[in-house]
Chains A and B, each alone.
Chain A
Amino acid sequence: MNAQFKKGVLELIVLESVRQRDMYGYELVEEVSKVVDVNEGTIYPLLKRLTNEHYFETYLRESTEGPPRKYYHLTAAGVLYRDSLEEEWNELTEKVGSFLKESQHG
Chain B
Amino acid sequence: MDKKTFIRELKQALSVLQEEELDDIVSEYEQHIDMKQASGLTEEEAIADFGSLNKLAADILEAYHVRADYAAAREGQESSLGEHRRRKVFAKTKEICARFGNLLGAGMRKMCGWVKNSWHGTKRFLAGSIRWMSGLLPDKTGEKCREATEGISQAGEKADGRKRRGRTAGNQEKGGLQTGMFERTGKLMGRIILFCCEMSLWMIGILWNGICIVGVLCCSLFGGCCLFGLGILAVLLLQGYPLAGVTLACLGVAISSFSAAWLGMTLLWRRKNPEETEKPVSGNDKPSRPLMGSGQNDEFGQNKEDGYGKMEARQHA
A interface residues (Cβ-Cβ under 8 A, vs B): 25-26, 29, 39-42, 44-49, 52, 65-67, 69-70
**Shortest Cβ gap from B1 to chain A (Å):** 13
Chain B interface extent, by class: 10 to 19
Q: Quick one: which of B24, B28, B49 has the most chain A CB within 10 A?
A: B28
Residues of B within 8 A of A66 (CB): 31, 34-35
Residues of B within 8 A of A48 (CB): 21, 24-25, 60, 63-64
Q: Is B51 close to A, CB under 8 A?
A: yes
**Shortest Cβ gap from B66 to chain A (Å):** 11
Q: A-B contact count, CB below 8 Å?
A: 52
User: A44 near B32 (CB under 8 angstroms)?
Assistant: yes
User: B28 near A40 (CB under 8 angstroms)?
Assistant: no
Residues of A within 8 A of B38 (CB): 65
Residues of B within 8 A of A49 (CB): 63-64
User: B31 near A45 (CB under 8 angstroms)?
Assistant: no
A45 CB contact (under 8 Å) in B32, B35, B59: B59
Considering the complex, which residues of chain B in the window 48-62 have a beta carbon less than 8 Å from any beta carbon of chain A?
Answer: 49-51, 56, 59-60, 62
Q: Is the interface of A mostly helix, strand, loop or mixed?
A: helix
A and B contact pairs by CB, cutoff 8 A, 29 listed: A25-B28, A25-B31, A25-B32, A26-B35, A29-B32, A39-B56, A40-B32, A40-B49, A41-B56, A41-B59, A42-B56, A42-B59, A44-B28, A44-B29, A44-B32, A45-B60, A45-B62, A45-B64, A47-B28, A48-B21, A48-B24, A48-B25, A48-B60, A48-B63, A49-B64, A52-B64, A65-B38, A67-B31, A70-B28
Residues of A within 8 A of B51 (CB): 39, 41
Residue of A nearest to B49 (CB): A40
Residue of B nearest to A27 (CB): B35
Given contacts A41-B56, A45-B25, 9 further A-B contacts (CB under 8 A): A25-B32, A26-B35, A41-B29, A41-B50, A42-B59, A45-B64, A46-B63, A65-B38, A66-B34
Residues of A within 8 A of B64 (CB): 45, 48-49, 52
Residues of A within 8 A of B62 (CB): 45
User: B31 near A39 (CB under 8 angstroms)?
Assistant: no
**Shortest Cβ gap from B264 to chain A (Å):** 65
Q: Quick one: which of A29, A41, A65, A70 has the most chain B CB within 10 A?
A: A41
User: A39 near B50 (CB under 8 angstroms)?
Assistant: yes
**Shortest Cβ gap from B46 to chain A (Å):** 9
Residues of B within 8 A of A69 (CB): 31
User: A40 near B31 (CB under 8 angstroms)?
Assistant: no
Considering the complex, which residues of chain B in the window 244-270 have a beta carbon less than 8 Å from any beta carbon of chain A?
Answer: none
The CA of A48 and the CA of B32, in the complex, are separated in Å by 15
